[in-house]
Structure 1
Amino acid sequence: MLIAGRYQLNTTIGRGAMGEVWRAYDQMLGRPVAVKVLLDRNADPTADSRFRLEAQTAGRLHHPHVVGVLDFGEHEGRLFLVMELVEGDSLARVLADDGPLPAEQVAAIAAQAAAGLAVAHEQGIVHRDIKPGNLLLDTNGTLKIGDFGIARFMDDPSGALTATGQIVGTSLYIAPERALGKPAGPASDVYSLGCVLYQLLTGRPPFRADSPIAILHQHLDATPVPPRELGAALPPAFENFLLGLLAKRPEDRPTARQAADWFATGAWRGRPEPLPAAAPVPAAAPIPVPAPAPQSPIPPRTKGAATTYKLPSALPGHRAARPRSSSGNRRARPSLRTFVAGRPRAVGLIAAALLFLTAMYVGMSVFSPDSSSAETPQETGRSSPATPTP
C-alpha cells in the first residue's frame, strides 16, 4: 500500500488502541520509516484530536532518546503519522524474552530514558504513559521513547482530551497523584519510569493485584518491596535511588534531569567520593627545658660500705612545718625533756641554787648551839666521856 504517493507500507510491526504501526519505505528520500495509521476515527470521538496532538507533541522534540516525528497527513480519510524507524524491540519484548536485566544495563536504560523525559518536560510536555511497551531499544542499545499518543501540554489542561475524572494510562505504572484523579506532571513520568526500572531489575512491577482498582490502592498506600529482597543484584545506592523514584509524594521524587545525571555519572555504583588530601600538620614548637640546678658530687661508694646522705630539713625560703598532735587541730605541748634540753642556761641556775641551799642546811646543822660541848676539857688529864656528834 502506498500512502501519500511516497510511503510504501510493507509489514505490520505493532498495533495499539488508536492505530497500527507499519514498517515502510520513504520513496522520496530513500530511507526506511515507521508509519502509524489511525484505525477508526468513529470508534473514539477524541481519536482524531489525540492523533493530531501526538504529532504536534512529538514534532516539538528533537533528541536522540525520543522517537522523532517526520511527517503527518491524511490519506483516504485516515490520518497517518510518519516517524523514524527504530530497528529493535521494546522493553516489553525484552522482558518477555530475557527476563530481569543486570544492573549495568538497567542503569544505562535509566540514564537515557530520563534524559529523553527531561527534554520533553523542558518543552512543557508530559508523556503520561511511560511503560515497557513505549520504550524502544535499537540494535546498538540506544533507548528511544515513543508513543506520545496520550501526552499533554502542561500549559494546556485540555490537551488530555479525556472526560473529567477519567484516568488515562496503564495502572501498573501510574503515579499515586494520578490515581487520585489529579493532573499529571513531570513527577508522574518519573514515578512511571521508576516502576519500569523496578520491573527490569526484578522481573515484576512493584505492585500487582487482581484488578486495576486494587493496583491503584497499592500505588497510594503500599510500600514496594526492596528489589534486593527479591533477588536483584544491585548496589545499595541504586536501590535507594530507585525507591526515591517511587516516593508517594511528587515533591519527594528527583526530577528527570537529576535522575539522568545521577545514572550517567555512575553514581548508582555507590563508589565513595575521593577524600581531599590531608593538610600538613605544623610541627610543634619545642618546649624549653630549664637547666638542671648544680648538685654536689656524689662520692663513689666503696664496696661493702654504706653511704649516708643528709637531706635538708627545709627548702630555702620555706619554714619547716610544726608537728601536729593526734588530736588534729590542737597544738602539741613540748615535753619536759624538750623544755630542759632547749634551755641549758636555766638548768645550770637551778642546779646552783639547789646546791647552795643544801650547803646552807648542812652548815646550820653542824654549827648549831645544841650540838656543842657543855664543858671544856680539864687539864688533869682525865678525859671525859665524848659526846657523840650528831
Structure 2
Amino acid sequence: MGEVFAGRYELVDPIGRGGAGAVWRAWDHRRRRYVAAKVLLQSDAHTLLRFVREQALRIDHPHVLAPASWAADDDKVLFTMDLVAGGSLAHVIGDYGPLPPRFVCVLLDQLLSGLATVHAEGVVHRDIKPANILLDVTGTGRPHLRLSDFGISMRKGEPRLTETDYVVGTPGYFAPEQLLGAEPDFTADLFGVGLVGLYLLQGRKPDSRALVEHFVTHGTPAAPEGIPEPLWQVLAGLLQPDPQARFRTATGARKALSAAVEMLPEPRADEAPVEIRDQLGPLPSGFGPEGPTGPTDTAAPTTPAETPAGATPAAPGPTPAPGPAPAPAPTPTAPGLAPAPVSLPVPPQQQPPQPHYQPQHPLSPGAAPYAAPYAAHQAAPAPTVAPMPSPSETGSFHLPPPVAHPIPSFEQAPTSAVPYEQAPTHPYTARPVQVPEQQHAPSAPGAAPVRRPGPPPKVTVPVLLLALICFAVGFWALAQT
C-alpha cells in the first residue's frame, strides 16, 4: 500500500512533476474518493511562500482547477484538487496534431471564461501554457477544459518573491513586457492565450520571439496557413507586443471570439472527431475504483471528523482477566515527556499492598514533570482490578475512576483507647487555653466548691471608694428633701 500522508491521504502513484513539487494520484480516506495531491519537494522560504499563496487560492469555476484542501506532515506539505484524468493539451496535440478550428474555439472560449474569473479575483496566473491546461475525460463529446497550476500566480499589489532582474515563467510563453521586467498584469496572461491558440491550430510550439519581431517590424502579418481569417484576427489581437494594443480583458477577447466562430466554415464531412481519453492509466495493484483493496483500507484510522453524524461508537468487548505474564513492556510516552517507571512483577506471597494510584509530586527530586498521570498505567494491575484499556487512536489515555482516600487529619490520632462517649476533639474545635471555661467540668454533688480568684486590689479599692462617694451623695440628697 502507499504512504498515508497526515493520516488521510494515501499516495497511490505519481502522475506529474513540476519545478516545485510532484503531483500524485491519492486516495482521500475521509471523502472516499481519488484526488490529485501536489507534494512540495523543496522547503526553502520562497517555495514555502509560493505554496501558501497557491493553496490559499479558492476559485469556484467549472474551468478552473484550484486547490481544495491542504495538509502538513512533519517536514512535508501538500494540497489536493480534483483529479483530472484526460491529460493536458500537450497530450491531445501528441495524439492528433493540429486540431480543427471549431474545436480550438471551444477550448479557447472555456480558457478565457476561467481566466476572466481568475482576473476578477485580482489574480495574475503568469504561466499560461498547454501543460497547465487539463482536460476531463469526455470521449468524443464536448471537451471540458480546466486551468491549473497557480504555483507562480500572484495578486496584483502583492510583493514579488523574485528580484527585478529575474523573470518567472516558462520560456517561449513570456509576454514581451515580462522580459523587460514589467509588473505582472492581466494582459500578459492574454498573450499566453494567443500562443496557446497558435499551438493548437499548428500542432507545434510557436516561435514567440520571431513572432514579436515580425509584429514590431512589419505589423500584423497575414493569417498563417490553415488558420481562418476571422479566428486569426482574434489571435492577432491577443499577440500584440504592445500591451496597450492588446485585448485588455478576457471577457472582451471572449466576445470577439464568439463573433469569429459564426464566420467559420462548417466542419468537413471526413473530419475525424477528437476523443479525450484517460491518460492516467490503470490503478496499481492494491487499489480499485472504490479505494484500497488491501489491509490498509480496513486498518485506516478514522478521525473524529470521519465518524458519521449521530453514530454511536461500539462498546468495547469484555476484557479477559489478566493472568501471570512476563514483565509488561513500557508504554511509549508523548514527545518531550520523561518515560514513566516500570514495575517488575512480584510473586503474590511477597508483593506488598500498594495503593491504586501514587503520583509523585512534580517538584520532588527525581520526579519527571507530567509523568505522574502515566505511572498508574505502568504498574502491574492488582488481581481484583481489571486491566487498563489501551491508549486511544489520538494518543490519549483513559484514566481509571477516582479512588476514595481518607481525609487527612491535622493531628496525630490518639494511641490510647478511650470510651465511646469521649470521642477525640474535632480538629477545628478551639483548644482549652483559648476558652478557659471549657476545661472545667461541672462539680459532683457534695464536693467542696472551688474558690476562684477575685480582681486585684489596684482595681478593687478605687471602685469601692467611688461607690462610697456615690452612696454619700445620694444620702445627702435625700436628707435635703
Q: What's the TM-score bracket when you normalise by the shorter of the two chains?
A: 0.5 to 0.7
What's 1:72 paired with? 70
Separation of aligned partners in 1, 2:178 and 2:264: 35
3-state DSSP of counterpart to 2:16: strand
Q: Secondary structure at the match of 2:56?
A: helix
SS of the counterpart of 1:237? helix
Equivalent in 17, 22, 26 of residue 15 of structure 1: 17
Partner of 1:86: 84
Tell me the amino acid that sits aligned with residue 148 of structure 1. Answer: F
Alignment of 1:278-357 (within 5 A): none
Return 5+ residue gaps in structure 2 as ranges: 266-481
In structure 2, the partner of 1:376 is none
Q: For 1:142 and 1:124, locate their aligned partners in 2 and report how far apart those are by CA, in whole Å.
A: 24
Scaled by the length of structure 1, the TM-score of the pair is 0.62
User: How many Å apart are 1:173 and its aligned residue?
Assistant: 1.1
CA distance, structure 2, for counterparts of residue 11 and residue 219 of structure 1 = 45
Equivalent position of 2:256 in the other structure: 262
- Which residue number in structure 1 is paired with residue 240 of structure 2? 247
The residue aligned with 2:126 is 128
User: Counterpart of 1:31?
Assistant: 33
**Distance change (3 Å), C-alpha of 1:100 and 1:7:** same
> Which residue is equivalent to 1:152?
154
> Kindly tell me: are residues 29 and 257 of structure 1, through their superposed partners in 2, closer, same or farther at Cα, counting changes over 3 Å?
same
Residues 247 and 253, structure 1, Cα contact 8 Å, conserved in 2: yes
Letter in 2 for 1:261: K
RMSD: 2.3
Inter-partner Cα distance in structure 2 for 1:251 and 1:205: 25
1:90 aligned partner, one-letter code: S
Q: Is the 8 A contact 1:127 1:150 kept in 2?
A: yes
The AA in structure 1 aligned to 2:230 is: A
Q: What letter matches 1:119 in structure 2?
A: T
1: distance between equivalents of 2:69 and 2:149? 15
| Greater helix share, structure number | 1
SS of match in other structure, 1:120: helix
CA distance in 2 between counterparts of 1:258 and 1:271 reads 19
Which residue in the other structure is 2:108 paired with? 110
* Post-superposition offset of 1:27: 1.2
Shift of the 252–228 alpha-carbon distance from structure 1 to 2, 3 Å rule, reads closer
C-alpha spacing 1:23/1:182, structure 2 compared with 1 (3 Å): same
Give the partner amino acid of 1:96.
G
Q: Does the CA contact (< 8 Å) of 1:65 and 1:144 recur in 2?
A: yes
Residues in 1 aligned to 2:152 and 2:7: alpha-carbon distance in whole angstroms: 29
The one-character-per-residue Cα deviations of 1:113-146 (angstroms, maximum 9, x if unpaired) are 0011100111000000000000001112210000
Code of the aligned partner of 1:70 = A
Shift of 1:228: 4.3
Change (3 A) 1:37 1:219: farther
The answer to whether the 8 A contact 2:214-2:221 is kept is no
How many Å separate the matches in 2 of 1:216 and 1:37?
37
Secondary structure of the residue that 1:46 maps to in structure 2?
A: helix
1:275 alignment counterpart:
none
Q: 1:36·1:81 contact (CA, 8 Å) conserved in 2? A: yes
Distance 1:151-1:221 versus aligned 2 partners, 3 A rule: same
Residues 1:217 and 1:194: Cα distance change in structure 2 (over 3 Å): closer
Deviation at 1:71, TM superposition (A): 0.6
Counterpart in the other structure of 2:326: none
Residues in 1 aligned to 2:53 and 2:83: alpha-carbon distance in whole angstroms: 20
Contact 2:215 / 2:240 at 8 angstroms: preserved in 1?
Answer: no
Partner Cα distance (2:97, 2:126) in 1:
25
TM-score, normalised with respect to structure 2? 0.51
Look up the SS of the partner of 2:190 in the other structure: helix
Higher alpha-carbon Rg: 1
**Rounded Cα–Cα distance in structure 1 between residues aligned with 2:239 and 2:39:** 35
The equivalent position to 1:236 in structure 2, one of 204, 229, 233, is 229
> Aligned-pair distance for 1:270?
2.2
Moved more, 94-103 or 183-192: 94-103
Structure 2 distance, partners of 1:196, 1:190, is 10
Whether the 8 Å CA contact 2:54–2:67 is kept in 1: the answer is: no
Question: Aligned in 2, Cα 1:196/1:217: closer, same or farther, shift over 3 Å?
Answer: closer
Mark the CA change 1:204 to 1:223 in structure 2 (over 3 Å): closer, same or farther: farther
Letter in 1 for 2:70: F
Question: Aligned pair in 2 of structure 1 residues 216, 106: CA closer, same or farther (>3 Å)?
Answer: closer
Find the aligned partners of 2:242 and 2:27 in 1 and give their Cα distance.
Answer: 45
Alpha-carbon contact 1:171-1:216 (below 8 Å) kept: no
Equivalent pair of 1:66/1:144 in contact (CA under 8 Å): yes
Report the 3-state secondary structure (helix = DSSP H, G, I; strand = E; otherwise coil) of the residue aligned with 1:107. Answer: helix
* Alignment check: 8 A CA contact 1:226 1:239 kept: no
Identical-pair percentage: 39
